[in-house]
Structure 1
């Protein structure tokens, strides 16, 4: 009888366990009572951390070149030396440029003298023309009066000859005098017309003055350019900074970038270290979570025990495809004290705090399930089967998940001990790229 009771009990327990497992599968949670436990929902801090690597860069790198060509006679600064804006960086031998300045000065003086000569020729010609015009007009007036008088006398002599009151000789003399007066009048008119032609010729002299003025201006510009080239033999610092590289030595002959198709000789690289940045490459799967203004923790192998802090200041609008792996440049400004310890081109490890909560309601990520677009947890109930509870989730760091609604602090949820990795971790682990620190999902999206 006792044996029969034991058998019935065992069968009943087996049927109950089978129904529970079948019911659990139908609700989307394949939890075995031997592989699950319950955990209370507790409050605590959680962060969405995105890790990456990058390189340290300065605020600005200026490649220093010289507009002039020639031999280097002075380089007062070496690598790592600090300089101020306006400090002399490089000096070239100025002898050739000094000769060009002297030649330009001589050319300018010569052109000025030619201008003065052209102006004097024009003034002299204008004065002579005025005098000649006055004289010609007076001669014309006198010739016209003389002609009128002679013509009148010739007419009277002709009439007197008809009256036989003058001789033929006297009449001929009067006619000859009238003819000569008429010729003088014509000559006076011709002389006045010739002076008008000379007046038009003055325009040529005015053009000579204009050409001379243009030559003076051209030589002034040539002198200014020669003086500028002389100044260009000295190169001054355009900004405050530090000498990051030096590619020139005393005695070296350099070429000008303005006259050389190769771009000229690079002399120095001047870096502005007043602000320090890190250019990090972020995978395309994570870039959607990066925003300007997010906090960043920065470390470098050179300072293993020191953490630097900064913020995101720029997210690239376009990615870079390398071997079918797309990454985006994220520019991070280092803000913490001691940032000058980070040298340009150092490798830096960055952790972007994409989201965080100081007092979040947390449950293990393994206790959160998703089916048919809904997110839920299993809550123990009075019966043998856990209750399915729909929830809204927030930050998920791969170990813990923030519960925004649907669950209260202190309530218990079924936690699968056998599920070593969260679904997020398994998905990330199946990717071909090397695993990074756990990435979190927001709002239940992965």
Structure 2
């Protein structure tokens, strides 16, 4: 009996198999990418880094102040009276000698008329006294002749002489009275001239405090009638600079500032004067700094508040690093590596060869030395490096003994005290003296100009601030001592055993 045929199996669809294969390939590729990226992150290390760059650093001090005219003249009145005319207004441009206002002259005109009458009266008295004098002189001559002939008594001659002297005195008195009245009248004429208020300078009227009909009283002090700005093409700013920053401000430094009236425009000026008149407000000491400003286009107005920046230092084309590199300090195992490297005996000569030795070489390179001078410098520098290496080796031996367990056990602890500042000053002084001794033979070969520049560079190098930064070498931070220069708040100038393009550590990545 024949068995029934089974139906042939239907072929499975290809789409699920393709999807599974594709998914597998994606998972494999994702795994490869993940482990590749992880390996790259591991190769980068656990540090955030930045490169040493070459660029410009601008150091500025911020301050606020007020714009004013370079020369402001207050016009007042020396006499009292009623104002009859005011011929100028705010913003009026005036020339020297122009009439600004007039005061009622009636009082002074009347006083002049009275004075002229008194002078005329005094002149009449003088003529009368002169006539009396002439009569007295004739009478005295007659009686003197008769007295010589014994025809009149001597007492009559004496009386005639007395009358003559009295007549002369009356003439002198009348003349003095005329001069007195003339002087009084001249004073009144001067006051009459002062009833006309004139401009003492060429300028612009800033303020006017009088109106026609107003009475001016000048009994105690001259009242202020007008205020004139002599020249608004040149203005000044009075900045209030904090005592912590005033030591960096010098005459001639560039100043940039803005005003709220023109927020999209930046103006420039120069420091003209650093005044010694300190002002204390709420225990804050400030010094006034005067800045001269060119206002040829008459854009700036007196009284505007300015926000200024005084450029106290500018360094172009210097090596600089971000301030984060100076703040970074390694932790844990990372901190021990640089210390151990610095303490290794073989690092002594290398350390002595860098640092201040390189700085001295750079300073000498700018002196344009002759071959003989360069040879003397090289000899002094090599001798200094050898002495530094010997001192460093000795210091490392002493440091090993300190941690080797003394009689009391454990390391020696040095506590910083209040005298550290004086100690650092003494150390700098000793370093300067030692450097001067080390390079005495080299300095003797320099001329006066070169010697002055060398002494200045030597003091600057010794007195410069230094700080450690950490270069990334073979994935590990390595401490390098650098000299710190100008800083603009985000970047700082550095020099020493470091060059453009070096990678420095600025932080650590979070451990994952």
TM-score (norm 1): 0.69
State the distance in 2 between where 1:337 and 1:410 align: 46
Match of 2:472 in 1: 380
Aligned-pair CA distance for 1:122: 1.8
Match of 2:168 in 1: 206
Q: Does 2:287 correspond to 1:324? A: no
CA contact (8 A) 1:309 1:336 kept: no
CA RMSD in angstroms, aligned pairs only: 2.5
Instruction: From 232, 246, 254, give the equivalent of 2:194.
Output: 232
CA contact (8 A) 2:234 2:295 kept: no
**Deviations 1:10-64 (CA, angstroms, capped at 9, x unpaired):** xxxxxxxxxxxxxxxxxxxxxxx63x33332221111001111111111222222
Q: Does 2:143 correspond to 1:136? A: no
Match of 2:265 in 1: 306
Q: How do residues 142-153 of structure 1 correspond to structure 2 at under 5 angstroms?
A: none
Q: Does 2:13 correspond to 1:54? A: no
Match of 2:304 in 1: 346
**Deviations 1:419-443 (CA, angstroms, capped at 9, x unpaired):** xxxxxxxxxxxxxxxxxxxxxxxxx
CA contact (8 A) 2:323 2:490 kept: yes
Compared with structure 1, are the counterparts of its residues 350 and 89 closer, same or farther at alpha carbon in structure 2 (3 Å cutoff)? same
Q: How do residues 403-422 of structure 1 correspond to structure 2 at under 5 angstroms?
A: 403-416=494-507
State the distance in 2 between where 1:318 and 1:92 align: 40
Instruction: From 241, 244, 247, give the equivalent of 1:285.
Output: 244
Match of 1:168 in 2: none
Compared with structure 1, are the counterparts of its residues 356 and 281 closer, same or farther at alpha carbon in structure 2 (3 Å cutoff)? same
CA contact (8 A) 1:395 1:401 kept: yes
Q: Does 2:321 correspond to 1:363? A: yes
The DSSP-based 3-state class of the residue aligned with 1:407 is coil
State the distance in 1 between where 2:506 and 2:107 align: 86
Aligned-pair CA distance for 1:204: 2.5
Aligned-pair CA distance for 1:193: 4.3
Q: How do residues 33-112 of structure 1 correspond to structure 2 at under 5 angstroms?
A: 34=46, 36-112=47-123
Instruction: From 190, 193, 206, give the equivalent of 1:244.
Output: 206
State the distance in 2 between where 1:133 and 1:343 align: 87
**Deviations 1:128-163 (CA, angstroms, capped at 9, x unpaired):** 21122113323x2xxxxxxxxxxxxxxxxxxxxxxx
The DSSP-based 3-state class of the residue aligned with 1:86 is coil
Aligned-pair CA distance for 1:120: 2.7
Aligned-pair CA distance for 1:353: 0.7
Higher relative contact order (CA 8 A, sep 6+): 1
Match of 1:427 in 2: none
State the distance in 2 between where 1:102 and 1:86 align: 27
State the distance in 2 between where 1:399 and 1:269 align: 46
Aligned-pair CA distance for 1:197: 4.1
State the distance in 2 between where 1:407 and 1:127 align: 116
Match of 1:29 in 2: none
Further displaced range: 78-87 or 368-377: 368-377
Compared with structure 1, are the counterparts of its residues 314 and 362 closer, same or farther at alpha carbon in structure 2 (3 Å cutoff)? same
State the distance in 2 between where 1:227 and 1:191 align: 55
State the distance in 2 between where 1:244 and 1:225 align: 32
The DSSP-based 3-state class of the residue aligned with 1:341 is coil
State the distance in 2 between where 1:110 and 1:370 align: 100
State the distance in 2 between where 1:119 and 1:368 align: 102
CA contact (8 A) 2:94 2:203 kept: yes
State the distance in 2 between where 1:406 and 1:255 align: 77
**Deviations 1:198-234 (CA, angstroms, capped at 9, x unpaired):** 3244323222222222211111110111111111110
Instruction: From 226, 230, 235, give the equivalent of 1:276.
Output: 235
Aligned-pair CA distance for 1:417: 6.3
**Structure ranking higher in strand proportion:** 1
State the distance in 2 between where 1:48 and 1:417 align: 29
* Alignment: residue pair count: 332
State the distance in 1 between where 2:70 and 2:241 align: 21
Match of 2:369 in 1: none
Match of 1:333 in 2: 292
State the distance in 2 between where 1:92 and 1:63 align: 18
Aligned-pair CA distance for 1:264: 4.6
Task: Note the residue ranges of structure 2 that are not aligned, 5 or more in a row.
Answer: 1-44, 330-423, 425-464
CA contact (8 A) 1:392 1:405 kept: yes
Compared with structure 1, are the counterparts of its residues 207 and 417 closer, same or farther at alpha carbon in structure 2 (3 Å cutoff)? farther
TM-score (norm 2): 0.61
State the distance in 2 between where 1:213 and 1:281 align: 63
